[in-house]
Amino acid sequence: MKRARVAAGSGLILGFAAAMVAVARHFAADPWEPVAFPVSTLGATAATVALASLYEWIVHRHVYHRPSPVPLLQGIREMHHVARAL
Ligand SMILES: [Zn+2]
């Protein structure tokens, strides 16, 4: 169930980013069209936030909440759990 939810959420975010790329490519044909700049700017911003959210979730899940043999990553994990307890 959880894997299906993660896969669905990740697919939704990647699909949204792909849609924003398609919109940007559509407007790339005529970049001087009046709506091209605002649509591209808003689309790029939204896609960046969506992809950064997915990346943050992956880092949180795999670095912050799993033990690691790499001392740097283990230190990050320990600091995360100490901060949670404060
Ligand atoms: Zn956490």
pLDDT of residue 57: 92
pLDDT tens-digit readout, 52-64? 999 999 999 999 9
**What are the structural domain ranges in the chain?**
2-85
The per-residue pLDDT for 28 is 82
Cα(21)–Cα(66) distance, rounded to whole angstroms? 33
- How far is the centre of ligand 1, averaged over its atoms, from the C-alpha of 77 (Å)? 9
Tell me, what's the pLDDT at 12?
A: 95
The span from the CA of 37 to the CA of 51, in Å, is 21
Q: Average of pLDDT values for 33-61? A: 91
How much distance in Å is there from the Cα of 16 to the middle of ligand 1? 25
Q: Is the per-residue pLDDT at 4 higher than 90?
A: yes
Mean per-residue pLDDT for 31-58?
91
Q: How far is the CA of 23 from the centre of ligand 1 (A)?
A: 35
The pTM score is 0.74
